[in-house]
Amino acid sequence: MRILIVEDERPIREQITRGLEACGWQVDQAQDGRDGYFQASEYPYDLAIIDLGLPHMDGIEVIRRLRSDGCQYPLLILTARGGWKSRVEGLEAGGDDYLEKPFHMEELQARAKALLRRTTGHSSVIAHGPLALDTDTQTASLDGRQMELTAYEFKILDYLIRHPQQVVGKTTLTDYLYAQDFERDSNVIEVLMGRLRKKLAAADGYAPIRTLRGRGYQFVMD
């Protein structure tokens, strides 16, 4: 899972990052509304957590623009505003849930998990043929036997199975795997994909990942 935090107060931003990383999720940060809107529009996220009181572009406007652009993933609102009107405004703009500051990290984690479950169904297990992925425990099994996957292999498989039939380019997968300040190498994708296919083929030649030359990869649901 990849989550974006849009929060201008650095201590809160870092606190949230640590709490979400403890759940095994990849976290990106933005410190103002303009940068948050750019990142949320350009990169493949599973959830964005957006503060309302942001410089350069407030959280309500960020949410409105994202929904207007067709953003489908859940948006969790953070607010220090105590009145009900700001909460209603945020939800009507397109937010899926809200949390008031100050908050307990355990509640933020629980709300994030609940929103993520809504996008994949209530179960944390995603299944296709002999393959089953448990997104809560970050494990995968094939014909009931646990697969030995690296963290990056799991992330690739997790992303592809969540976007069935879609053609996913190397750049998209690279963005999903690496934090923005890391050096990226798209050739790594080919190596990881080769290892992943070999492990999946252990189940009687199971081969759900198709390569479309010059375009990317596709998880086939046939």
The burial class, CB within 10 Å (0-12 / 13-18 / 19+), for 57 is: middle
Whether residue 147 sits in one domain with residue 104: no
What per-residue confidence (pLDDT) applies to 163?
Answer: 81
Whether residue 129 sits in one domain with residue 81: no
Whether residue 113 sits in one domain with residue 170: no
CATH code (residue 115): 3.40.50.2300
CB contact set of 140 (below 8 Å; sequence gap of 6+): 131, 132, 133, 134, 146, 147, 149, 154, 157
Whether residue 130 sits in one domain with residue 116: no
What per-residue confidence (pLDDT) applies to 179?
Answer: 54
CATH code (residue 191): 1.10.10.10
Whether residue 115 sits in one domain with residue 137: no
| Amino acid letter, 41 | S
Taking a C-beta distance cutoff of 8 angstroms, is the pair 198, 140 a contact? Answer: no
Taking a C-beta distance cutoff of 8 angstroms, is the pair 13, 101 a contact? Answer: no
DSSP assignment string, 49-65: EEESS-SSS-HHHHHHH
Split into its structural domains, the chain has a count of 2
Look up the pTM and report it: 0.60
CB contact set of 89 (below 8 Å; sequence gap of 6+): 60
Question: What are the tokens at 126?
Answer: 């995603």
Whether residue 93 sits in one domain with residue 10: yes
**pLDDT digits over 5-63, tens only?**
999 999 999 999 999 988 888 899 999 999 999 999 888 788 999 999 999 999 999 99
In the numeric block, the tokens 């095994």 are attached to 24
